[in-house]
Structure formats: structure tokens, C-alpha cells
Amino acid sequence: GIQVEQSPPDLILQEGANSTLRCNFSDSVNNLQWFHQNPWGQLINLFYIPSGTKQNGRLSATTVATERYSLLYISSSQTTDSGVYFCAVRVTGGGNKLTFGTGTQLKVEL
Amino acid sequence: KAGVTQTPRYLIKTRGQQVTLSCSPISGHRSVSWYQQTPGQGLQFLFEYFSETQRNKGNFPGRFSGRQFSNSRSEMNVSTLELGDSALYLCASSLDSNSNQPQHFGDGTRLSIL
């Protein structure tokens, strides 16, 4: 099956810093989503981005489907950004099955 | 509109028992998928239901089963519980199966096996 790798696995930032999270996948996909899992376990939709670039406030994401990677940018980080960031992909013909990466654990400190 | 609703939020069971978890999708969504999250295995796909039919199944033993009702609500059942079944169980809904639409997750049911 498809492999999804995320980097870095862990990241510690000072409040106000910027960061880039990466997601590599091993096969063609027709859906890619970024999620933020907060300390209470809630998975929050950040972006639905099978290709192209999107921005939402301090967050933006870019997926280059032909090169099989996606990037999530966090600017001016805040302590509330702490948590785990997952990318998840779906392959054509796979129904709605999402394959998740192992996540990036982000901690933003004052 | 209301999001994906999962009940109960927390559950404690003992080995050998069975458990049923419930998921109500976003209104109008007809596809419901279930995932298991554990520290060791991460987030893994269990199965997907669409129009009351299982469309896709992950690599889990037959103790894990599910169903979907005509109103798109879904339940999953785990029989003969094992310690390793302790996990966060997440449900996701989407408009259709295999469509180019995002999936939306509920808050999960945290299951602990003693």
C-alpha cells in the first residue's frame, strides 16, 4: 500500500517563529488533507489540498502532486498551535480510506 | 450545521466483553469511515460504510465489525475485547464514497480495556 512519511517527527518552536512541515507519499493520490490533533484528541481539518496552494490565516499549504509531496507552513506560531499535525492521503479506487502519516509533534513555547 | 457526533466519549470495559460505538455523520453525508488510533500503530483505517454497505475494510480481525443505518448513522462493534483494543476510535463522514470531498472527523471515543 501507499507509504506516507512526515518530517520532522518533533519540533519545538518559540512563539512567533515560522515552520515548515513536510509530507511525502509514495504513490499517486486524489485527496490529501492536513489535520491538527489537539491535546484532547480532536482532529481538526486544516486543508483539503490534493494539488496547488491554499492559505488560511497564518497557515498555508502546498501540494505538488507530480512530485508526491505536500508542505504545511505555520507562520508567527502561537502556543495554541501545539499538538500533532497529520497529513492523510487517499488513492484512486480506495473509496474514502485515508492513509495517515506518523505525524509531526509540535510544541510552541513562550 | 452540526458536526460528526460520536458517543460515548469515554468507555471502560474489561477483557472478553464487547462494545458498541456510535457515529452520527454531518447532515447529508452518506459515507462513514472508522479509524483506530493507538500510540504504537498511529491512525489506522478500520472500514467504510456507504448506503448501508461496507465499501472498504482495513486489516483488522473479524472481532471488529460495523453497520450503517438508513439515516447514515453508523455503529461499530468490537467483540471479545483484548487489552490491545484500548485506543481512540475516530469516525469520519463525507458526502459520498470515493468523491473528491474532504472527510470530517468526530471527537472520538476513548476506549480503555482493563
pLDDT in tens, A58-71: 999 999 999 999 99
Contacts A31 to B, Cβ<8 Å: 100, 102
Mean pLDDT of A34-63: 96
- pLDDT at res. B113: 97
Task: Test B107 with A93 for CB contact under 8 angstroms.
Answer: no
Mean pLDDT of chain A: 95
Q: Are B104 and A45 within 8 A, CB to CB? A: yes
- Report the chain B residue with the minimal C-alpha distance to residue A94: B98
* CA of A63 vs chain B CAs: smallest distance (Å): 15
Round to whole Å and give the CA distance between A32 and A49: 5
Nearest by CB to B110, from A41, A95, A103: name it. Answer: A41
Whether the CA torsion B10, B37, A12, A89 is positive or negative: it is: negative
Question: Residue A76's closest CA among A11, A22, A16?
Answer: A16
Distance from C-alpha of B26 to C-alpha of B46, rounded to nearest angstrom: 19
d(C-alpha A100, C-alpha B91), whole Å: 14
Percent of chain B's residues with pLDDT above 70: 97
Among A39-48, A93-102, B65-74, whose mean pLDDT is lowest? Answer: A93-102
- Give yes or no for a contact between A34 and A47, defined as CB atoms under 8 angstroms apart: yes
pLDDT at A94 over 80: no
What H or E segment, with its residue span, contains residue A44? Answer: strand A43-48
3-class SS of residue B50: strand
Q: Is A70 exposed, middle or buried (0-12, 13-18, 19+ CB in 10 A)?
A: buried
A36 vs B91: CA distance, rounded Å: 16
Can you tell me the distance from the alpha carbon of B35 to that of B91, in angstroms, rounded to the nearest whole number?
6
**A95 in contact with B, Cβ within 8 Å:** yes
Contact residues on chain A for B98, CB-CB shorter than 8 A: 93-96
Q: Taking CB atoms and an 8 Å cut-off, how many pairs form between chains A and B?
A: 65
Could you write out the DSSP letters of every residue in B81-103? --GGG-EEEEEEEESSTT-S---
B37, closest residue in chain A (CA to CA): A41
| Residue A93, pLDDT above cutoff 70 | yes
Mean pLDDT of A11-31: 96
| pLDDT (0 to 100) of residue B1 | 67
Which amino acid is it at A53? T
* From A17-26, A91-100, B27-36, the region with the lowest mean pLDDT: A91-100
Give A96 to chain B, closest Cα distance, Å: 5
Residue-level pLDDT at B62: 96
- For the stretch B78-110, pLDDT in tens is 999 999 999 999 999 999 886 688 999 999 999
Cβ atoms of B43 and B55 closer than 8 Å:
no
Q: Which residues of B touch A96 (CB under 8 A)?
A: 31, 33, 48, 50, 55-56, 92, 94, 97-99, 103
By the CB < 8 Å criterion, does A98 face chain B?
A: yes
